[in-house]
Structure formats: structure tokens, C-alpha cells
Amino acid sequence: MENRPTTLIDPKSGFCSLTKTYLSLRPHLQLPPNTASVSTTEYAFSLLRHSSSPPPQATALLDAVTGHRISFHELIYFTETLASSLQNRFRLKKGDTAFILSPNSLHIPILYFSLFSLGVVISPSNPNASEPEIHHQINLSKPVIAFATSKNAHKIPDSVKEKILLDSPEFESIMTSQTRVAGNELERVKVYQSDLAAILYSSGTTGRVKGVLLTHRNFISMVAASHATRGVKNSIPTVTLCTVPYFHAYGFAYCVRLVAMGDTLVSVGRFKLREMLSAIQEYRVSHVALAPPVVVAMVKNVGVVDGYDLSSLEVVACGGAPLTKRVLELFKERFPCVHLAQGYGLTETTARIFGTVGPKESEVIGATGKLLSNCEARIVDPDTGISLPPCSPGELWVRGDTIMKGYIGDDEATAATLDSGGWLRTGDLCYIDKEGFLFFVDRIKELIKCKGYQVAPAELEHLLQSNPDIVEAAVVPYPEEEAGQVPVGFVVRQNGSNIDESKIKDFIARQVAPYKRLERVMFIESLPRNAAGKVLRRELINLALSNAISKL
């Protein structure tokens, strides 16, 4: 980042009046030199061995279902043992790609760190993905080996010659008890920060899934930014439950940085609300990482939640999609002693690039935190390209060490997203206030153009979800000859509610301008979402079209 006169930088928002750019006011990071040979594993383990690190026998990884624990000493030993096995027995080498198809488990962080240390590119995918989706991802990443569970292994095509079952005695053996004999030692690999570390897959809500290229520098910067904002750490590990899938950027980054910072990482396989609550109670979890639908479930399922002791809970981290104002208010009312820390990030930014730090920041309703260390942001008018000052909505652009290298095999998409100056166009309509907090408005491509006006679906969704008869809702555009597009709502009713379409339409009409009124309301059992909790709007649009809404 360029040096700019501090007199031109607002000390509250970070806005530079000369360049119209927002600068991070977080602590500046002293990262390894760009040319240094440092893998993500080396960097993470060096932090772990810091003087404030937990005792070697403290629990690093914990399976909430089985109660099985792995200590920090075992974590490091298993990582090196597995790396040695993969290098010597399976001949994995730097630059190879490994495809991973598995739900969260104790094995995944160990596998990630082993592959990082060898310079092998990690390409994890959703185990619930269909075979055509997985084949598309494999065509993009071209792996030489695949790690899968016995339940999902059949989805891996024969083009991947080597397959290892993560839930097999074989994998347990190569991870835990490899005999290191002469000629079979782990050969240290020189991994540079510019080397490719992972190929993660974008959500695909605006088109076909793309493979996002992330480097070791991206992950090292992500870990360092979290470490820089960490308070004074006790030698007793913080117990953190991650319910977010490790194949997703949010969960992937979370498990890497928690290990690096010496926290106890509690995993659950397939998410279930009661299992999560039981784990918080049994293991005295103080921090939990959730997707937005889980936060909604916590505030809506009062009877279920009240049956558990959640007194250990201090912080709920939430990312992947924005929460409505009503849900935030209900959460604060239901859990007055728990801080809800929202964050904003993309797969392309190695997860969060704006984040909430500390109790004070979590009190700002609707904000998704402040810009992380060593990062810059712009708010750009989508029509004119002019960079805007605080409190003006526009497209969010970001730049920094966590920004992706590009999309694999798609130079056109890369050029459309990353400019020559390293700025990533997020496609999100946002604004940054005078205190430096980011507020998400909507996806630019999802804005509904009605009679020449722009209608933000998020605004209508917030209003719908403020109605006590509605659990959740989504608003999508529907083509209409005269207006161009009109807003159509999909609503999930509360159990026992008989609220109908006319009442909902009237409820919205009383609160918005005429062009924002809902033209139609459709009832649905649940909203389709991806693994990060984002609503799959394309599915809802297709559903609206397939239902031939003759009234419009």
C-alpha cells in the first residue's frame, strides 16, 4: 500500500480524501518478505509454538459427537507423519492437486496442514454436491489424488487414479503410525508464499461454479490479521465450535487460523441444532462460528434453546450472508451476554476482509465490522466509476494480501473481477460509515429494476422478517412487460400461522414506496441455501417462472 500523508486520512473511518480510498486502522502486520520460503503450515505452527502457546497436551481438536480428542503435540506429529506417508508412499509432490470430499472431521485440519507443508494444492468440495458438479470441479482442478469418505467416494470419477478413504483403517494408519525408517523420512519442501495453496469453489449463485486460486501468502495474511487483533491470550485454549463446513472458505480459514492461535477446535459432522447446543453445554464452548440460518434458528426455536446451559458462550461469529435487523435485535434480546461478531468476506478474499473485533464493535447493529489489517477498500459508483466518501452506497472494491490470484482456467472472469491495480470488484452494494464500519445493502446483480427504480431485495426481506408470523423470506425479480421487473416474495410461515398473501402484501405496502410493493407472495417450506447460508436466488427465480404466475 502506498504511503499517504496521515493528515489526509480520517482517523475514524480510514478514508483518505486525496485518493478516495479507505485504509485499515487495524494494527499493521509485519509479514514475512514476499520472496521468503514459508508455507502456511510453517507459519501457523511457528505461531503455535509462540511463548503464549497452550501446553502440548492441551486439546487441539475435539469431535463433539464421539468425544475423541487430539492434543497439540499429536496434531503436529500426525501432520508430519501423514506428510511423510503421502510423500513417500503416494509420491505426492509440490504442485500436485488433492481433491477432498468430506464433512467436517478431526482428520481434515491435519490433512490440510500436511498438504500445505508438501506444497500440494488443496481442493475441497461439498460432499452433498452432485456427481456432475463434482466432475466439473475435478475438470477444473485436475487432481492426482482424492480423499473422500466411504459414503461419497463413488462420486469421484475414474480419471482420479488414487483414492484414499478418510474413514478407513488405512488412513488412520498412515496418519498415526507410519514407521520412519532410513530413506523414508519426510523431505522438507521449499514452499514459497506465491505458490498456489488451494482451489476453493465459489458459491455459484450468479453462474457456474468457478475455482478460486489462493496462495500461501493469502492464508498467511489471513492468519496474521486474526492474530494481530487478538487480545491477551490465556495459556488455557479458548474452546471454539465451528459448525461451518471446512470445504467452504469461511470454515477452511476458521480451522486454519484457530489451530495457529492455539484454540481448541470443536467439530461437528453434519449440522443439527440440538447437537450444537449439546456440544456447547458439554464442552463449555465459549466461541462458535455459525452461518446465518443457524442464528435465525437460535432466536426462533426458543423452546429448544432454553433446554440447554449456554452460560459458557461469549461470542457468536457469523458470516456468509447478512443478518436482518430484526434477527439481530432478537438475538440481543435472547442472549444479552453474548457478543454477535459479524464479518464480511468472499472466497476471493480468503474469507473475511471486514470483521467485528471486541464487544464494543459488536454493538453496532447491522454492521459487518471494520477493514482488516493491511487491506484497502473503495466504494465505487457502479455507473460513473467515481470513488465515493463515507455513507454513500456503491460497489465495494478491496485490495490486499488476502486477495485471490484469479480463477482457474478462466482469464475472462479473472479480468472482469480483478483490475490491473490489484483491486477486486466484489459485486456487492455497500457503504462504509463515518466510523469505518461496513454495511451491506445488496448484490448489485440482484437489484430489481422496477419502472426505472432500483429495488433492493434485502430491504424488503428485512421488513418481511420483522413480521412475527414469518420465519424467513426472500425476494426475487419477476419479468413484467410494463414495469420491466416486479418483486416477488417467497415466505416461510411460522408453525401454526395462517397469514395469507393479501395480509403480507398489505404489511409491506404500508411501509414502502409504491414501486417496492410485492406483486406476489409464494409460500415455501424452506429457502434453498448453499453451504455458507446464502439463499440460492436463481432456484427461486426458476421456481417463480415454472409456476407460470399468470397474475403478473
pLDDT tens column, 290-327: 988 889 889 888 888 999 999 999 999 998 777 878 88
Question: Range of 460's domain?
Answer: 447-546
Residue count of the chain, please give it: 552
The grid cell for 338 is 453474548
**Residue 552 scores a pLDDT above 50:** no
Whether residue 28 lies inside any domain: the answer is no
Structural domains in the chain (count)? 2
Whether residue 32 lies inside any domain: the answer is no
Task: Kindly state whether residues 93 and 132 are assigned to the same domain.
Answer: yes
Instruction: Give the global pTM.
Output: 0.85
Tell me what pLDDT residue 234 has: 62
Distance CA(221)–CA(31), nearest Å, equals 7
pLDDT digit string, tens, across residues 29-48: 889 999 999 999 999 999 99
Task: Kindly state whether residues 124 and 207 are assigned to the same domain.
Answer: yes
Estimate to the nearest angstrom the gap between the alpha carbon of 129 and the chain centroid. Answer: 18
Tell me what pLDDT residue 4 has: 57
Stretch 124-132: mean pLDDT = 89
Task: Kindly state whether residues 485 and 521 are assigned to the same domain.
Answer: yes
Distance CA(106)–CA(104), nearest Å, equals 7
**Residue 519 scores a pLDDT above 60:** yes
pLDDT digit string, tens, across residues 38-94: 999 999 999 998 866 788 899 999 999 999 999 999 999 999 999 999 999 999 999
Residue located via cell numbers 488412520? 172
Task: Kindly state whether residues 364 and 474 are assigned to the same domain.
Answer: no
Q: Which of 221, 231, 256 is nearest to 31 (CA)?
A: 221
Whether residue 500 lies inside any domain: the answer is yes
Whether residue 15 lies inside any domain: the answer is no
Whether residue 88 lies inside any domain: the answer is yes
Task: Kindly state whether residues 394 and 504 are assigned to the same domain.
Answer: no
Q: Looking at 418, 439, 460, which one is the last position of a domain?
A: 439
Whether residue 90 lies inside any domain: the answer is yes
What is the residue-wise DSSP string for 254-300? HHHHHHHTT-EEEE-SS--HHHHHHHHHHHT--EEEE-HHHHHHHHH
- For residue 99, how many other CB atoms are within 10 A of its CB? 24
- 327: CATH: 3.40.50.12780
Confidence class of residue 235 from pLDDT cuts 50, 70 and 90? Answer: low
Q: Looking at 439, 474, 503, which one is the last position of a domain?
A: 439
- Number of helices followed by number of strands (H, E) in the chain: 16, 27
Confidence class of residue 209 from pLDDT cuts 50, 70 and 90? Answer: confident
Beta strand 375-380 pairing with 394-400: antiparallel
Task: Kindly state whether residues 542 and 417 are assigned to the same domain.
Answer: no
Task: Kindly state whether residues 416 and 482 are assigned to the same domain.
Answer: no
Tell me what pLDDT residue 130 has: 84
Task: Kindly state whether residues 199 and 269 are assigned to the same domain.
Answer: yes
Task: Kindly state whether residues 347 and 303 are assigned to the same domain.
Answer: yes
The phi, psi pair for 364, rounded to 5°, reads -80, 100
Task: Kindly state whether residues 238 and 278 are assigned to the same domain.
Answer: yes
Distance CA(114)–CA(175), nearest Å, equals 10
The phi, psi pair for 359, rounded to 5°, reads -60, -40
**Residue 451 scores a pLDDT above 90:** no
Task: Kindly state whether residues 381 and 303 are assigned to the same domain.
Answer: yes
pLDDT digit string, tens, across residues 464-518: 989 999 999 999 998 886 778 899 999 999 989 999 999 999 999 998 888 899 9
Task: Kindly state whether residues 79 and 159 are assigned to the same domain.
Answer: yes
Whether residue 19 lies inside any domain: the answer is no
Q: Looking at 439, 468, 494, which one is the last position of a domain?
A: 439
Distance CA(507)–CA(495), nearest Å, equals 19
- 484: CATH: 3.30.300.30
Please state whether 235 falls in left (phi above 0), alpha (psi between -120 and 50) or beta. alpha
Whether residue 14 lies inside any domain: the answer is no
pLDDT digit string, tens, across residues 238-296: 999 999 999 999 999 999 999 999 999 999 877 789 999 999 999 999 999 998 888 98
